[in-house]
Chain A
């Protein structure tokens, strides 16, 4: 079946540091890939997505590139802010199943 693996958290950074959260997946065919963000006390919100190989999703300074050859969709941001503190979920849809598959989430803590 499909699966998504994310790096363990929490990730703790100082403001303006560079962020990478790794995500790799297992799926058949060509799934769509997503990053969701969950701020404290809120539901998940879509952060960005990519629907085919080599697509780059971007939003709010975050980027992720769909790498078919390495089955990865790593999330990056050049300069994090305290307000980016949240839990980030990598997810895929399609790939032989209509049930979305989520990673376990990675908590990001940004200190001033």
Chain B
């Protein structure tokens, strides 16, 4: 595809359930980021993958959040035992470049997954 895709576009779940959010980055992009955008807030960094390196998980808000990236491409963000405060739009972005060069490259964002926890 031409851009970053995310699925589902909307997810409504009940408190306590687990959810999985998927991100398909642009082919060839080695860097992949997950962000959370809450109502009226900016982008909150969650996790970052670069090539085959260990991910930077420093932004994950709790151990209920985890993410993986298989084969250096598709990524899945998992939220276990969802809480109402997890309701937000979850954005994925990817970019080109080496671990050093990529810091200056444009990020391409997906349309996001809107998660609502009832």
Which A residues contact B (CB, under 8 angstroms)?
Answer: 32, 34, 36, 41-46, 49, 51, 89, 93-94, 97-100, 102-105
Chief secondary structure at chain A's binding surface:
strand
Residues on the B chain within 8 Å of A98, using CB? 48, 50, 56, 99, 102-103
Q: In the complex, are the beta carbons of A102 and B43 less than 8 A apart?
A: yes
Q: Does B42 contact A (CB under 8 A)?
A: yes
Please pick, from A34, A51, A89, the residue contacting B43 in the complex, using a CB distance under 8 A. Answer: A89
Count of interface residues, chain B, beta-carbon cutoff 8 Å: 26
Q: In the complex, are the beta carbons of A44 and B42 less than 8 A apart?
A: no
Q: In the complex, are the beta carbons of A102 and B42 less than 8 A apart?
A: yes
Q: In the complex, are the beta carbons of B33 and A100 less than 8 A apart?
A: yes
Residues on the A chain within 8 Å of B56, using CB? 98-99
Closest residue of chain B to A93 (Cβ to Cβ) is B103
CA distance A55 to B107 in the complex (A): 19
B34-58 to A contact mask, C-beta < 8 Å, 1/0: 0100000111010010100000101
CA distance A34 to B111 in the complex (A): 19
Residues on the B chain within 8 Å of A41, using CB? 111
Which B residues contact A (CB, under 8 angstroms)?
Answer: 4, 33, 35, 41-43, 45, 48, 50, 56, 58-59, 91, 93, 99, 102-112
Q: In the complex, are the beta carbons of B109 and A100 less than 8 A apart?
A: no
> How far, in Å, is A17 (CB) from chain B's closest CB?
24
Q: In the complex, are the beta carbons of A43 and B48 less than 8 A apart?
A: no
Query: What are the 5 tightest A-B residue pairs by CB atom distance, in nearest-first order?
Result: A104-B42, A43-B109, A44-B109, A102-B43, A94-B103
7 A-B residue contacts at CB 8 Å? Answer: A43-B111, A93-B105, A98-B48, A98-B102, A98-B103, A99-B45, A105-B43
CA distance A95 to B49 in the complex (A): 19
> How far, in Å, is A39 (CB) from chain B's closest CB?
11
Q: In the complex, are the beta carbons of A105 and B103 less than 8 A apart?
A: no
> How far, in Å, is A100 (CB) from chain B's closest CB?
6
> How far, in Å, is A108 (CB) from chain B's closest CB?
15
Closest residue of chain A to B59 (Cβ to Cβ) is A99
Residues on the A chain within 8 Å of B105, using CB? 93
